[in-house]
Structure 1
Amino acid sequence: MRVDDLRTTAIGFGSVIIIFAALFAFVGVDELIATVRTANPQYIVLVVGVTLMWLFSWSVSLHTVLQTLDVHLSYIGSFFVFAGAMFSNNVTPFGQAGGEPITAYLISKTADAEYETSLAAIASVDTLNLIPSISIALIGVGYFMTEIALGSRSNIVIGVTSVVILTSIILTIGYTAWRYRYNIEHRVVNAFTPIIHWFANVVPPLPDTNKTEVESRIEGFFRAIERVAANPRQLAVALSASTIGWICQMTALWLAFRAIGIELRTTFILIIVPIATIAGVTPLPGGAGGIETVLVFLLLSAPLPSVTEAIAVTAVVIFRGAIYWVPVILGGGVVAWISSGANIGSHS
């Protein structure tokens, strides 16, 4: 790993430590420890189990997209590769944006697929995962609006409004980029070809690439995206698997609260999990620190008398501890295994 990469990683994790220290100080370390000690281990095991179900569900979505692109990877292979994908997302800044290139490498190496096809596959999965989160959040908002007067939840309304605005911006940018993708392709080719020539001259082992080859690879990426979008049956399967994965995440948060004797209302879970996930785009490794802070803020902003600061932080730490560390531990082993040249199953 280069010195710059090490420095960026160190700064990222250093920021995470500072954020958690501030969060724990806000609650009070003694009160937090006392609350953690009340947690039921059986529920914590269930949180981990549901986390594995979430990983498997989203790996099914990846498997389905790969099938659409004629890339053959077994279900178990897809599961391990997706765990590696989540590992790369969790240790790089900006969430999926930082981890996607590494994930594409894992797919191409494991399934013997072209890199641009692999990149298109994981980009498609990330995009598909966004759709159920928005839908579930809107369902939660609609139900929430019918239950509680607007005046009693001004902070959470701000959160909901923010996610709607951000979602609209993301969808608008995505639509515009797709509509003008060939213009973007032309600009990217002209911009990156000289950079590739420069790197090839500076670092002799790197192969030089002409403008035609760069253009061909980018066109291959767009064609792969088009193939996924043109298969409604496979899209439906991938979206269903993605939706199940989101439900698993929300169930994990509900179980985390049950572990400390609190039964959190489903309405709030439907809203706060998708909203908090947006914090994953921050320049923190996997959004760690940012997602937890947003979750705690939303929980304390909602009219939940039984949820104190210590309870909110404890439940979030249990929930995010599983969601973050299970993929890091499992996926880290997968990345090391694939990097060593091992095969994890490339048949369907």
Structure 2
Amino acid sequence: MSGTTDLRATAVGFAAALVVFALLFLLAGVDRLVDTLVRADLRLVGAVVVVTLGWLFAWSGALRTVLDVLGVETTVRQSFLIFAGAMFSNNITPFGQAGGEPVTALLISESTDAEYETGLAAIASVDTLNFVPSISFALVGIGYFATTATLNPDLELGLALVVVLAVVVPGAIYYAWNRRYELEHRAVQRLTPLIQRVGGWIPRVTVPDADGIERRIGRFFQAIERVATNPRGLALALGLSALGWFLQSLGLWIAFQAIGSSVPFYVALFAVPIGAIAGATPLPGGAGGIEAVLIGLLQAFPGIGIAPATAAVIIFRGSVYWVPTAIGGVVMSVVGARRGTSG
């Protein structure tokens, strides 16, 4: 029943995404948009794909670093394929990372000798670490623009959002860290009856006892603590995360070059991480939502029209969304086939 429900939710999400895309294309002018895309420089479009692969390697390196801190050994190739599988899960699941993390944790545990809780802690840590450079880049980009031009109301709203996130999210993390043992105790109290109830509904699944659930939740919090208290690992993971954001911004900048339009690099540096926030929408992987936010932000900058902004975003997001989805889809298919054979 739950599988049918998940499939229905995903189908509804993609249908909603198609509606959003249709509206964006109409606003940009379909004929003008198609003409712009047809005339795009294919070599530069290919460069966007290459940069996308670089982003995947950078963030998979951050995941490999976190797993290494947790005592889980992976090769560069293995971590790349695991991360591609993670992106596939995120891109077909509503609410982005929140929906794909449990599947990613399962993929990590089946691809390595890691326990499920360790895999969940690893991918949750990477998602959290990715927030720091994203907001930093957004502040640098909009800060530079604010010193050279007057912000219009849309960009003022974007700047306000960045500032709020830069204060609220680190504050929430600091608050949670200082009360991590209390949060662990509450998680055990509240999740134990829920897990036992849900486990009782699922056929052929052994319902864990309260002690077993407490141990597994404890292992999750211990893994998070190990990552947070390893300065070298944190610095390396943050550096790789920042490299990934830089490459994504570079990809959007190159996409504008591909359609014969030129924008300052700081525009992409601001727009990409802010647009990624829309990945938390119910749309699968943020498809449609991220594009709408990116286009809205880009055309708020002087000299960037809606047609070139839409065309560049289509090239950029077409690569960032479909390259990891295609690679990750193959990974998940292979893992699924192996599970079927072993079962």
Q: TM above 0.5, one fold?
A: yes
CA distance, structure 2, for counterparts of residue 185 and residue 144 of structure 1: 43
Aligned position for 2:260: 261
Q: Which moved more, 1:186-195 or 1:268-277?
A: 186-195
Aligned position for 1:126: 127
Could you tell me whether the CA contact under 8 Å between 1:200 and 1:206 is conserved in 2?
A: yes
Equivalent runs, 1:62-77 vs 2, <5 Å: 62-77=63-78
- Label 1:148 to 1:66 Cα distance change in 2 as closer, same or farther (>3 A): same
Aligned position for 1:47: 48
Aligned position for 1:285: 284
Aligned position for 1:333: 330
Aligned position for 1:323: 320
Deviation at 1:69, TM superposition (A): 0.6
Question: Which portions of structure 1, spanning 4 or more consecutive aligned residues, are displaced by more than 6 angstroms?
Answer: none
SS in 1 for 2:35: helix
Deviation at 1:302, TM superposition (A): 1.0
Aligned position for 1:345: none
Aligned position for 2:11: 10
Deviation at 1:146, TM superposition (A): 1.4
Deviation at 1:84, TM superposition (A): 0.4
Aligned position for 1:141: 142
Aligned position for 1:241: 240
SS in 2 for 1:263: coil
Q: Which moved more, 1:13-22 or 1:2-11?
A: 2-11
Aligned position for 1:34: 35
- Label 1:182 to 1:81 Cα distance change in 2 as closer, same or farther (>3 A): same
Deviations 1:220-266 (A, max 9, x none): 11111111111111111111111111111011001100001112101
Deviations 1:77-98 (A, max 9, x none): 0000000001101111111111
Aligned position for 2:84: 83
CA distance, structure 1, for counterparts of residue 90 and residue 140 of structure 2: 28
Could you tell me whether the CA contact under 8 Å between 1:155 and 1:302 is conserved in 2?
A: no
Q: Amino acid of the residue matched to residue 205 of structure 1?
A: R
Aligned position for 2:273: 274
Instruction: Report the identity percentage.
Output: 51
Deviation at 1:54, TM superposition (A): 0.3
Aligned position for 1:346: none
CA distance, structure 1, for counterparts of residue 313 and residue 332 of structure 2: 27
Q: Which runs of 5+ in 2 are unaligned?
A: none
Deviations 1:172-224 (A, max 9, x none): 33332332222222222222222333234333411111111111111111111
SS in 1 for 2:74: coil
CA distance, structure 1, for counterparts of residue 198 and residue 81 of structure 2: 33
Deviation at 1:122, TM superposition (A): 0.6
Q: Which runs of 5+ in 1 are unaligned?
A: 343-348
CA distance, structure 2, for counterparts of residue 281 and residue 201 of structure 1: 30
CA distance, structure 2, for counterparts of residue 82 and residue 318 of structure 1: 22
What TM-score does the superposition give when structure 2 sets the normalisation length?
0.95
Could you tell me whether the CA contact under 8 Å between 2:81 and 2:331 is conserved in 1?
A: yes
Aligned position for 1:60: 61
How many residues are paired up? 338
Deviation at 1:268, TM superposition (A): 1.0
Could you tell me whether the CA contact under 8 Å between 1:160 and 1:275 is conserved in 2?
A: no
Aligned position for 1:171: 170
CA distance, structure 1, for counterparts of residue 125 and residue 112 of structure 2: 17
Deviations 1:35-74 (A, max 9, x none): 1111011001000010000000001111111111110111
Could you tell me whether the CA contact under 8 Å between 2:138 and 2:162 is conserved in 1?
A: no
Q: Amino acid of the residue matched to residue 24 of structure 2?
A: L
Deviation at 1:125, TM superposition (A): 0.7
CA RMSD of aligned residues (A): 1.4
